[in-house]
Amino acid sequence: MKSTAGIAIAALLSLWSNGGSASPLVNGDFERGLEGWRIWGGVATPIAHSGKGACEIVASSDTWAGIDQVVGIPSGMGRLTLTGWLMADGIRQGPEEWNKGRLGVDFLDDRDSMVGTWQMVAIQVRGKVAWSRGERTYEIPPGATRAKIICALANAHGTLRCDDIEANFTP
């Protein structure tokens, strides 16, 4: 059992290592299955980058399938850094270049309308790829109040796994 002091120190170290902004994602490490994520094609799997759980998305034909989570953008924040790990097993690209396994973000306004460019990707994978880390920093577009973090097969098929996803905001 962790002590209260140990938990407090871990929280402070997390804040410090993330530049003062802990990731607002719920269960980005998937240690509690898919709790906190909206599921439209993912299942929990023990095949993980770290820990005991990850998300697995499987499709036998080209389709959009995956998970997402919407988080509020804290006041005064100007950038979002999205990081995560993806693994591909037999992912076949659909008809377009962008039809792969992906981790990305959509920025939304108060009416759930997209603001800025459509699904900006932090990492894409196809074929057979061992756990690979992706990271991208985005400028938050004017009018955005929330960010939708998405791990999905984007009109592709095969097996995609996602783990250790973080979304950190900075001024």
Encode the chain (171 residues) as per-residue pLDDT tens digits: 444 344 333 333 333 343 445 799 999 999 999 999 999 999 999 999 999 999 999 999 999 999 999 999 999 999 999 999 999 999 999 999 999 999 999 999 999 999 988 768 999 999 999 999 999 999 999 999 999 999 999 999 999 999 999 999 999
Hey, CA dihedral for 40, 49, 103, 35, is it positive or negative? positive
Q: Compute the mean pLDDT over every residue in the chain, rounded to the nearest whole number.
A: 89
The confidence score (pLDDT) of residue 14 equals: 39
Name the CATH superfamily, with its identifier, for domain 23-170: Galactose-binding domain-like (2.60.120.260)
| 139 CB-near residues (< 8 Å, 6+ apart) | 78, 79
d(CA 119, CA 54): 22
Half-sphere exposure of 70 (CA within 13 A, CB side): 12
* Max Cα–Cα distance, the chain, nearest Å: 53
What is the tens place of the pLDDT at every residue in 119-162? Answer: 689 999 999 999 999 999 999 999 999 999 999 999 999 999 99
d(CA 24, CA 14): 12
- Per domain, the residue ranges of the chain are 23-170
The confidence score (pLDDT) of residue 118 equals: 75
pTM above the 0.75 mark? yes
The confidence score (pLDDT) of residue 166 equals: 98
Nearest residue to 93 via CA among 129, 120, 118, 122: 129
